[in-house]
Structure 1
């Protein structure tokens, strides 16, 4: 196999390194490659932007128009995050020889799975996406343990939660490594699951269809 398969430890290391990079996510460092790692990084970038926008959308002392702008940004970042997740899955499936490369980006990829392999309901890309979100939770909870404007009880409770989050990310990483190992061995496979987010598409969202009809 010419394309390296992801390792969970490398994914977590990238997530943490990017979160510690000054200017991230507004400023994006060059990815390790223009293929798989580019899309792992892109997924993480949009999760980070989504996280920040979700915080802003909870404000209570700004105009409603500001919150509406936050909500529109959230829709865009969420779509970009999902698109990146799908690209991770496409590239992994091609690298694993589990899908025909020419059809990988279509809505109906042609499977080349060995007989007898089990279908895993969660994709490798979705695990990477969940690990990205977990890295954000860990980063934010660690900051809570270092606050000097709260009492000891808050910091202690945050340390307990931090340890649990670290364990949860470790569990996800083990699942990713096991899935990819089984896929390499021909024991398991996954598919690209298209999200088809209809609310972002003016052709499918019934309220946007109504607006377009009214304008016509």
Structure 2
């Protein structure tokens, strides 16, 4: 039995707008939200991308010391691990929603190259990119050529966000109509695992 709503607990238009609104809000107040369910998981993952964006800015500062860069790198590694874990949580929640809706999917139904969770991650980053390009457009200490270049890039980013949002909605429509299969893609990162990263497990050996 197929659901008439592709994903009753999450609509892509709501998701995209939430990401845009949160980026603006979190630049003015502490990071946080009151969402629950899948939208809450999406917002948690978005908050991690927000933190990552600004940590990566720190790492690229020409005045950063070696010690500061090393500390930022460790923070980035931890946030990246959390980010991938949260993407998987979003995809697992979608799997639960599929099961709860009683969706029947043919064994030979195609599977997408990207999961909805990974597309949502890309939308999150795009909303951050839009905000920061918007900041550049508003600068008064730059030449007109700079602002024109930024405005052109901002227009491209807006188109890309619209295209990606539409593609995600179409993917969810297909998944919840049983036309495509959904799986959580396990990242299985090795670099933060002390038992799998040789630079870690060999560090105490002579």
TM-score w.r.t. the length of structure 2 is: 0.90
Match of 1:107 in 2: none
Task: Write the deviation string for residues 72-120 of structure 1: whole angstroms up to 9, x where unpaired.
Answer: 00001111111111000000111012999xxxxxxxxxxx743332111
CA–CA distance in structure 1, aligned partners of residues 64 and 117 of structure 2: 36
Match of 1:109 in 2: none
SS in structure 2 at match of 1:211 = coil
Match of 1:103 in 2: none
SS in structure 1 at match of 2:25 = coil
1:69 aligns with 2:71: yes
CA–CA distance in structure 1, aligned partners of residues 109 and 184 of structure 2: 16
In the TM superposition, residue 178 of structure 1 has moved relative to its aligned partner by 0.5
SS in structure 2 at match of 1:156 = helix
1:8 aligns with 2:12: yes
Unaligned runs of 5+ in 1: 101-111
Task: Write the deviation string for residues 183-202 of structure 1: whole angstroms up to 9, x where unpaired.
Answer: 11110022111111100100
Native 8 Å contact 2:33 2:43 kept in 1: no
Q: Looking at both structures, which has the greater relative contact order when contacts are Cα pairs under 8 Å and sequence separation is at least 6?
A: 2
In the TM superposition, residue 212 of structure 1 has moved relative to its aligned partner by 3.7
CA–CA distance in structure 1, aligned partners of residues 11 and 31 of structure 2: 25
Runs of 4+ in 1 over 6 A off after TM superposition: none
TM-score w.r.t. the length of structure 1 is: 0.86
SS in structure 1 at match of 2:191 = helix
Pick aligned residue for 1:165 from 137, 141, 157:
157
1:196 aligns with 2:188: yes
Pick aligned residue for 1:116 from 105, 108, 114:
108
CA–CA distance in structure 2, aligned partners of residues 22 and 70 of structure 1: 20
CA–CA distance in structure 1, aligned partners of residues 38 and 48 of structure 2: 16
CA–CA distance in structure 2, aligned partners of residues 193 and 60 of structure 1: 37
SS in structure 1 at match of 2:202 = helix
Pick aligned residue for 2:202 from 186, 210, 214:
210
CA–CA distance in structure 1, aligned partners of residues 109 and 79 of structure 2: 35
CA–CA distance in structure 2, aligned partners of residues 27 and 115 of structure 1: 42
CA–CA distance in structure 2, aligned partners of residues 210 and 25 of structure 1: 43
Unaligned runs of 5+ in 2: none
CA–CA distance in structure 2, aligned partners of residues 186 and 68 of structure 1: 47
1:133 aligns with 2:137: no
CA–CA distance in structure 2, aligned partners of residues 205 and 113 of structure 1: 38
